[in-house]
Structure 1
Amino acid sequence: MQQQKFFYGWWVVLALMLVTGTSLALVVSTFNIYLNPVSEALGISKTQFALCSTIINLAVLVAAPKLGALLQKDTRKVLLLCLLGFYAAYAAFAWVSNLATLYVVAAVFGLFSAGSTVVPTSILVNRWFVARKGLAMSIALSGSALTGMVLAKSISYFIQTDGYGVAYQTIAACSLIFSVLLIVLIIRNRPEDKGLQALGADNTASANSSVHNSLALVNLSPKELRNKPFHWAMLVGAFLAGLVGGGIVMQLPVFLQDTFDSDSVKLSSTLLATSLGVMIFAKILLGWLYDRIGTQRATLVVTLSIIATCTPFFLIPLLPNMAWQLGLMGVVCWGLGNCVGTVTPSVMAAKTYGNEYYGQIYGNLHRTQYLGIGLGAPLIAKLVDLNHGSWSVVWLGAGVLIVVMLAVYLFAIKASQPYRQAAVITEQADKANSGLNAAAAK
Structure 2
Amino acid sequence: MSLTGTLRKEGHEVIPCPDGHTALTALATEAFDLVITDLNLPGPDGLEILKQARSRHPAPQVIIMTAYASTETAVEALRMGARDYVTKPFQTAEILTRVGNIAQLLEIEQENRQLKARIAGDQKDVIIGNSPPMDQLRNTIDTIAPGEYNILIQGPSGTGKELVARAVHNHSNRSDGPFMAVNCSAIPDTLMESELFGYRKGAFTGADRDHEGYFARADGGSLFLDEVDDLPLAVQVKLLRVIQEREIEPVGGGGTQKVDFRLIAATKKDLKSLAESGDFREDLYYRLNVIPLVLPTLAQRKEDIPALVENFVAMHGKQGEFHLDEESYRAMMAYDWPGNVRELSNVVERMLAMPDIPVSQLVDGGGSTVADGRPAPTDPETLSVPRDLTVQPDGSLDYRKYMQECEERLLRWALDQADGNISNAAKTLGLPRSTLRSIIDRNQG
- Asked if TM exceeds 0.5, the reply is no
Q: Whose Rg is larger?
A: 2
TM-score for the superposition, normalised by structure 2:
0.21
Report 1 or 2 for greater relative contact order, CA contacts < 8 Å, sequence distance ≥ 6.
1
TM-score for the superposition, normalised by structure 1:
0.21
